[in-house]
Amino acid sequence: MAKILIIDDEKSIRRALGEILEFENFEVDEAEDGLVGLEKAKAQAYDIIFCDIKMPKMDGMDVLTELQKEKVESPIIMISGHGNIETAVEAIKRGAFDFIEKPLDLNRILVTIRNAKDKQTLVEETKILKKTVQRFKGSSIIGETPEILKIKEMIAKVAPSDARVLITGENGTGKELVARSLHDNSGRKDEPFIEVNCPAIPSELIESELFGHEKGAFTSAVKQKKGKFELASGGTLFLDEIGDMSASAQAKVLRALQENTIQRVGGEKNISVSPRVIAATNKNLRKEIEEGNFREDLFHRLSVILLHVPSLNDRKSDIPLLADHFLTMVCAEHGIPRKKFTNDALEALKNTNWTGNIRELRNIIERMVILCDKEITGFDVNTFSNPRG
């Protein structure tokens, strides 16, 4: 039952409005002046507040202002027998949900209450959605092993800065998740997160992809194009698997990091850029430097902060958490009622050799969700994690 507070110095108005609302199955509370009404509204939550404007001790507009300062979220409906357009506009500007003139019209009151309740429902749903989104953001890195807790701690320390970060780890360990968490917890979170998958771009196109090109710079350059450094300016540029970048591109990236400027391919103008650069690699860059495949000066530019993401085989106690997370996610994605793992299934997952790391774990769970019955057993894990061609 919705609870409504009526703040009005006229007892007859409180009684008449209260009887209407009680007849409509609302619970009603009353306050005879603005000060009493303010204290009641601060002390407990009401679904809706009706507040007169002209009252002794404290008028309704002051009550409205104080309620806004106190961040009272109840929709506030102002009522007055001396209202005009200016008063109504001022009330709405100060945060009132609506303004109703006296004598009060029953239909207008009920319509306004319905609209106010709809608004509150929307506000509550939005709160729940925000909490859900925040929970998924905060839990994007799943795990409680010391190695993962250390990574989370480093993210919390490093994210607010603009320091460059080099993330190392095997394929499929979640290096991109670490990069995204650094971005999402930084002051740049509302700006773009631009990802470049270095191995996926042909060496002859990598410079155009990173720095853009001018119209006519090469045969297929039919119009000017901004590169990833420009697009990520103000945000975060994630250079994934940078160990596979060509020597020519490495030199250009080093110059961009040193000078915070770039030149588009085919252009002569220096363009200022300011992305935060996060790089990742599955290679041992120190070994690559020794073999002449990676520039040492670029390595030092990128590795202000070093973060290593452990393999799944090195954090097997996190597998039940990861498995449950992926199970929930995959069932939701496919519109399948949530399934569950038996205890021997979880043990089998922990005993599997995960050469493909977290990416492989997710793929196998998706396969089992689609093909298995309501319960996923140890037999299922052993069968589907070792498929026969």
The CA distances from residue 310 to 145, 229, 315, 376, in Å, are 10, 29, 7, 27
Residue ending a domain, choose from 274, 309, 344: 309
| Closest C-alpha to 340, from 354, 353, 326 | 326
Please name which of 142, 130, 174 lies closest in space to residue 327, comparing C-alpha atoms: 142
Please report the pLDDT score of residue 135 as a whole number.
Answer: 44
Between 86 and 372, residue with greater pLDDT? 372
- Provide the 3-class DSSP secondary structure of residue 356: coil
Calpha distance 261→254 (Å, rounded)? 11
Task: Flag whether 85 is in a domain.
Answer: yes
Per-residue pLDDT averaged across 128-147, rounded?
65
Domain-located, residue 146: no
Residues 164 and 299 in one domain: yes
Least confident of 67-81, 286-300, 305-319: 67-81
Mean pLDDT, range 79-87, rounded to an integer:
80
Could you tell me whether strands 375-376 and 340-341 are parallel, antiparallel, or unpaired per DSSP bridges?
A: parallel
295 and 200 housed in the same domain? yes
Strand order of the β-sheet with 98-101 is 27-31, 3-7, 48-52, 76-80, 98-101
Last-in-domain residue among 278, 309, 340 = 309
Q: Report the percentage of the chain scoring pLDDT > 70.
A: 95
Distance CA 369, CA 338 (A): 9
* Residue 139 confidence (pLDDT): 44
- Do residues 317 and 291 both lie within one domain? no
246 in any annotated domain: yes
Looking at per-residue pLDDT, the higher value among 57 and 161 belongs to 161
pLDDT band, residue 279 (cuts 50/70/90): very high
Cα separation of 286 and 308, whole Å? 14
Exposure of 67 in the CB half-sphere (CA atoms within 13 A): 36
Is the whole-model pTM more than 0.85?
Answer: no
Residues 127 and 262 occupy one common structural domain: no
Give the residue among 175, 136, 135 at the shortest CA–CA distance from 155: 175
What whole-number percentage of the chain has pLDDT above 90?
A: 70
Whether 346 and 369 share a structural domain: yes
Q: Is the pLDDT of residue 138 over 60?
A: no
Is the same domain home to 329 and 281? no
Instruction: Decide if 389 is inside a domain.
Output: no
In terms of Cβ atoms closer than 10 Å to its own Cβ (0-12, 13-18, 19+), residue 41 is buried
Q: How far apart are CA 236 and CA 90, in angstroms?
A: 43
Cα–Cα distance for residue pair 228/218, rounded to 1 Å: 18
95's CB contacts (< 8 A; 6+ apart) are 64, 67, 68, 76
Within this chain, do residues 301 and 330 fall inside the same structural domain, yes or no? no
Name the burial class of residue 133, with classes exposed (0-12), middle (13-18) and buried (19+) by CB atoms within 10 angstroms of its CB. exposed
Comparing CA positions, the residue from 14, 92, 23 lying closest to residue 6 is 14
Domain boundary among 260, 278, 309: 309
Residue 155 domain-assigned (yes or no): no
Statement: residue 293 has pLDDT above 90 = yes
387: confidence class by pLDDT, cuts 50, 70, 90 = low
Residues 329 and 225 in one domain: no
Note the pLDDT tens digit of each residue in 223-277: 888 999 999 999 999 999 999 998 888 998 999 999 999 999 999 899 999 999 9
Categorize the per-residue pLDDT at 219 as very low, low, confident or very high, splitting at 50, 70 and 90.
confident
CATH number of residue 11's parent domain: 3.40.50.2300
Residues 186 and 291 in one domain: yes
Q: Answer yes or no: is pLDDT of 131 > 70.
A: no
Enclosing domain of residue 7: 3-133
- The pair of structure tokens assigned to 19 is 């009887």
Q: Quick check: 275 and 227 in contact, CB under 8 A? A: no
**Rounded to an integer, what distance in angstroms lies between the CA atom of residue 347 and that of residue 327?**
16
| Residue 332 sits in the same domain as residue 289 | no
**Residues 166 and 305 both lie in one domain:** yes
Average pLDDT over residues 284-294: 96
Q: What is the mean pLDDT of residues 6-34?
A: 92
For residue range 162-202, list pLDDT tens digits in order: 999 999 999 999 999 999 999 999 999 999 999 999 988 88
Question: Count of domains in the chain?
Answer: 3
Res 136: pLDDT: 44
67 and 174: one domain? no
Beta strands in 48-202 (DSSP E): 48-52, 76-80, 98-101, 165-168, 193-197
What CATH number does the domain containing 348 carry? 1.10.8.60
Is 140 part of any domain? no
Domain contains 205: yes
pLDDT band at residue 125, thresholds of 50, 70 and 90?
low
- Please indicate, yes or no, if residue 151 is contained in any of the structural domains: no
Q: Report the CATH number at residue 282.
A: 3.40.50.300
